[in-house]
Amino acid sequence: MIASLLDKGIKNWAVLDVMRTTPRHIFLDEALAHRAYEDTALPIGFSQTISQPYVVARMTEAVLAGRSGRLSRVLEIGTGCGYQTAIIAQLADRVWSVERIQPLLDKARKNLGLLKIRNVRSKHDDGSLGWPEYGPFDAIIAAAAPQQVPEELLQQLADGGRLVIPVGSERGGQELRLIERSADEFHTQILEAVNFVPLYLGQVQY
């Protein structure tokens, strides 16, 4: 898997090392565990997926770019099974993660516990609202695609902070955007085409 990430242009050695040492198979059902180290997205139930390792690495590398050390405060939108959470938690002091599907959140908490990752706080809620009481955040990573970037997430980004988010629709195409805040201005860079599950605004599932 690491050779594939290198071939696809991932250069941050801290990201590569965390990807190498994090057991992706524990985040998958037993029937799919043998495919854990393929560079592909895989189903985790509830019409959701565990992201392709390259995409996880690309998003993580993007929010770390230009920093010499760890991130301080990170917000994740879409905990899923907890794989992206586990990767970023090893590169940050604190992570807050929001998931709208309760059974997935329960699985993620169990998975993070197995890895003894203790610096993550999670909740069951509408991810498009972020987690304002713990902002502003150095970095925000969204693992689901809205049609437009929620204003709430932009406002929870610290000055100099970075938001990585897929934007668009499954039918109309999606693009991965890197948005950096400078005072009250937001500078956007399009990284590449992607394919994520939708971010449903105003919806939670029990």
In tens, the pLDDT along 147-168 reads: 999 999 999 999 999 999 999 9
What is the rounded distance in angstroms from the CA atom of residue 28 to the CA atom of residue 40? 13
pLDDT one-digit tens code per residue, 36-68: 999 999 999 999 999 999 999 999 999 999 787
What is the rounded distance in angstroms from the CA atom of residue 19 to the CA atom of residue 56? 9
Nearest Cα to 152, choosing from 166, 138, 132, 134? 132
- The 71-77 sheet, strands edge to edge: 120-124, 92-99, 71-77, 137-142, 157-169, 173-182, 185-194
Nearest Cα to 88, choosing from 99, 105, 100, 74? 74
pLDDT band at 143 (very low <50, low <70, confident <90, very high): very high
pLDDT band at 98 (very low <50, low <70, confident <90, very high): very high
Tokens of 40: 């592909």
- In sequence order, which residues have a C-beta less than 8 Å from that of residue 101 and are 6 or more positions away? 46, 48, 124, 204, 205
Inter-axis angle of helices 53-64 and 13-21, to 10 degrees?
Answer: 140
Whole-model pTM: value is: 0.95
How many helices (H) and strands (E) in the chain? 6, 9
Q: What's the confidence (pLDDT) of residue 203?
A: 72
Full set of structural domains in the chain with CATH: 2-194 (3.40.50.150)
What is the rounded distance in angstroms from the CA atom of residue 71 to the CA atom of residue 173? 31
Is a pLDDT exceeding 80 seen at residue 206?
no
Q: Which residues pair with 97 in a beta bridge?
A: 76, 122
Tokens of 47: 């019409």
Q: Which residues pair with 177 in a beta bridge?
A: 165, 190
**Hunting for tokens 């693992």 — which residue is that?**
143
What is the rounded distance in angstroms from the CA atom of residue 96 to the CA atom of residue 122? 6
What is the rounded distance in angstroms from the CA atom of residue 114 to the CA atom of residue 81? 13
**Hunting for tokens 């948005």 — which residue is that?**
179
Q: Which residue is catalytic, options 4, 47, 51, 128?
A: 51
Is a pLDDT exceeding 90 seen at residue 91?
yes
Known catalytic residue at 51: yes
